[in-house]
Chains A and B, each alone.
Chain A
Amino acid sequence: MPVPSPEEAGTLHAGGSGGIITESSVEATYDAIGEGSATDVEREVRHLGVGFWIAVAWLVGLITLAILAPYLPFIDDPNVSQADALGAAPSAQHWFGGDDIGRDVFSRVIWGARVSLFIGVAAVTFGFVIGGTLGLTAGYFRGRYERVIIGAMDIMLAFPALVLALALVTFLSPPGTQNASMGTVTLVLTILAVPSLARITRAATLSFAQREFVTAARALGARNSRIIAREILPNVVPPMAAFALIAIAIVIVAEGALSFLGLSVASPTATWGNLIEQGRQSLDDTPWISLFPCGVMFLTLLAFNYVGDQLRRYFDVKEAGL
């Protein structure tokens, strides 16, 4: 072909095709989080590995503790000051020590997990219901519909996410207070998650919608609804489920940043972000107030990222096995 095929140039990296956000941006971020190369694919495929199960165990453990927190005897009331915990270093009594007004840091971390995990799971679930549907239909039906959807998503992505979150949370909260309710934070983070989730689902859909088995199904006389349900979804859901875990980690970080800035769920409710922020003031005297929540949050994020990444690779390879 003496004339460059525009499709070729376009799909490679459609920076040329002109949006403000370039075509492959979100997909590229996704790739950056979970890389997969043909070389490691061959070997690391079959088993998920010990690390995977350790990460799963951490998550299951944390989720169990978080859900059962009100009922477990060893988790103190996170909002009650205890005399023996006042600025206390970690001990058998107070595993993560106590804060400057005598609240047990361990139980505050666990109660903080309730907030983080709930918001993470809820925002990603709702985000996928909305964004996933938009992305799936955009990637399948293409045409003007796709351009409108993706254009709208790009405009939303053009706002720096944290700035948008700050603005939304502040202005959705009652006047005069900076503290949002959990519902507000979930809503805001859902709104923020939708564009990325839509774009990723669309990318995954596109890669299958152009395969010949879809044409084959159409040749059999299958209707669009059936093709989406039977041919596309079974291929798109596994990688998206894996990505959902990574997305949860991202939402947890966003919630953390908001509450670090004092803009998430109202204090005294414990959140990881406000625990870290509080403890930061007295890092030299009582570092544990800040460092324990830091550690737990880090391990949780690591676990989500790792499990998501491994699952993604696992699904990827099954297919590459062709």
Chain B
Amino acid sequence: MRYIGQKIVQLVAVLFLVTFLTFLLLNLLKGGPQTAALGIGADEQAVEQFRQEQHLDDPTIVRYVNWLGNLATGDLGDSLILNVPVSDLLSQRLPATLQLMLYATVLSLGLAIPLGILSAWRADSWFDKSANTIAFAFLSIPNFIFGVLLVFLFSIRLGWLPATGYVPFGEDPAEHFRRMILPTIALAAGQVAVYMRLLRTDMISTLQEDFIGVARAKGMPTRRVLLRHALRPSSFSLLTVAAISVGQLIGGTIVIERIFAIAGLGSLIVESIFTRDYLVVQGCIVVVAVGFVLVNFVVDILYAVLDPRIRHARAIA
């Protein structure tokens, strides 16, 4: 319990740090939001008025504290450009991105785990070699290329699936999934390869451990040896990487949302950066950072669940 308490303190500290750095970055760098709001060459008075209205000339630290204060009440401020609350924007845009990330993670882990286990078990076999070659190729395809190829093949040439658009799950579940298939595949392809190769490597080294020899010598069936004995000790780096991949997935969704014209968080980030709508950017970063931190928190707990040694080391601490 003390451990979890410590962890939460740590996470809150990181959140502060990340948001503050973002704030600093957004405010210190040139090209203030007035340019975006009023256009280049707007007359000086208008600029001056705008800056005062938005408190842009206050010291950064004061503005940060103000912003934090508002954050505590759930107020992320209003978009400078669209004049709507940032929280509204986020709640509109977030579901699509979350769904996309969730589907991609499920798909990539769902494919990578069995494939990784199989290719480690039959290391160097025909199956392993072809799975690895394909995985290597996938590693070398950036998702924007893969997305374009998918659109070209399945939408334009074969006409099987729509190339663009997003339908909320609540409106029409079937159509929702139909439209999510291509984006999900494009986003998951690289991850599958990373996860599979990682799990394979770890499985192979686990399978060479003495305790696997012991399990075999006990006469346990292969299935049990692989799933009960080898998988769990091999899954730690997979877990770690799956956690950091959240960051990559967010980057990925930016590109994928652009290709498939999905109005999600990724496209919101790009738009708001373009327009220097800094409160929106800041809001997005908060969401991303919270998500990232939460995922890492969950993963940290999962470590303890998976590995009794960590559990006990923590219990002592």
Contact = CB atoms under 8 A, between A and B. Distances in A.
Direct contact of A and B (CB under 8 A): yes
Given A31-B237, A157-B244, A170-B273, A20 B11 contact: yes
B217 interface: no
Contact of A16 (B26, B132, B289, B304): B304
Nearest to A8: B309
Given A16-B314, A20-B11, A283-B156, A40 B30 contact: no
Interface string B203-230: 0110010000000000000000000000
B123 A40 contact: yes
A283 B316 CA distance: 61
A28 B251 CA distance: 19
B89 interface: no
Contacts of B136: 302, 305-306, 309
Contacts of B292: 20, 158, 160
B140 A305 contact: yes
Interface string A5-39: 01011101101101011101100110111011111
A102 interface: no
B29 A35 contact: no
A70 B255 CA distance: 32
A301 to B, nearest CB: 4
B251 A163 contact: yes
Contacts of A3: 316
Contacts, number: 229
Contacts of A304: 140
Contacts of A141: none
- Contact-residue bracket for chain A: 35 or more
A305 B22 CA distance: 33
Given A257-B144, A283-B152, A171 B201 contact: no
**Chain A CB within 10 A, most for which of B142, B251, B269, B307:** B142
B25 A167 contact: yes
Interface stretch (A59-67, A77-85, A103-111, A291-299): A291-299
Contacts of B31: 170-171, 173-176
Contacts of A13: 236-237, 240, 303, 307, 310
Contact of A276 (B148, B239, B285): B148
Contacts of A148: none
A294 to B, nearest CB: 5
A160 B289 CA distance: 9
A9 B310 contact: yes
Contacts of A33: 139, 194, 197
B273 A298 contact: no
Contact of B296 (A10, A21, A260, A273): A21
A212 to B, nearest CB: 23
B148 A283 contact: yes
Interface string B22-37: 1001100111100100
B40 interface: yes
B205 A37 contact: yes
13 contacts: A13-B236, A18-B10, A25-B240, A37-B201, A155-B17, A158-B292, A160-B248, A161-B247, A163-B284, A171-B26, A178-B274, A261-B270, A273-B144
